[in-house]
Amino acid sequence: MSSMVEGATQVRDTTGLAAALEAVLFTLNRAVTILELQDILQSPLPDIEAAATSLTEALAGRGLFLQRHQDQLQLVTDPAQADVVRRVLRPEYPSRLSPAAYETLAIIAYRQPLTRARIEEIRGVNCEAVLESLEEKGLIEETGRLEAPGTPRLFGTTMRFLQILGLSSLNELPPLPQSGSTSS
């Protein structure tokens, strides 16, 4: 295994690695973790990060788009091409969510990971049903458990969340409006 790798290994500059990354993401056609990519591309983490940045830049103005959610990368179509892709695929995404769902999504997106109790504290109402529905739609998922009595589930957003909003990453969310008192 390692001898094969040695044979194939060559000094790749960032552009070359970005091209390799593009090829891998295209063929795998799913969200791929940075850890997996380190193994596939036989490159250390900083090189993968640099390649991802380089690929994002290279794809500017093109039909494809690099999406990054936490430690996952995925090659998707550019949000600017949504209309034409929709014409081809006629996807059946829910076009609208309830106001409660958007509120809950906003809280999770900015405060993740967090527990249902924390979400309910902010919204002041029971959120069980709305969380269940968001999880079912694949917009949020359990990201772990809080080390506290009852080990409550921690929720976070998903790649699908970025897809329905056409965001390249969570960093692209509008900034959290600041108030007088800084949040914890």
Q: Minimum Å distance from CB 145 to another protein?
A: 21
The site that binds another protein (CB under 8 A) totals a number of residues, namely: 52
For 21-33, letters b (16+ CB in 10 Å) and e give bbebbeeeeebbe
Binding of another protein at residue 165 (CB under 8 A)?
yes
Can you list the positions of beta strands (E) in 70-124? 72-77, 114-115
The residue behind tokens 């079912």 is: 136
Toward another protein, which CB reaches closer, 31 or 47? Answer: 31
DSSP secondary structure letter of residue 106: H
Binding of another protein at residue 72 (CB under 8 A)?
no
Residues 81-140 that bind another protein (CB under 8 A): 82-83, 85-86, 89-93, 95-97, 99, 102-103, 105-107, 109-110, 121-126, 138
The DSSP annotation for 130-153 comes to HHHHHHHTTSEEEEEE-SSTT--E
Toward another protein, which CB reaches closer, 43 or 52? Answer: 52
**Helix orientation angle between 128-136 and 99-111, rounded to the nearest 10 degrees:** 80
Contact residues for another protein, defined by CB under 8 A: 26, 29-30, 65, 67, 74-80, 82-83, 85-86, 89-93, 95-97, 99, 102-103, 105-107, 109-110, 121-126, 138, 162-166, 173-174, 176-177, 179-181, 183
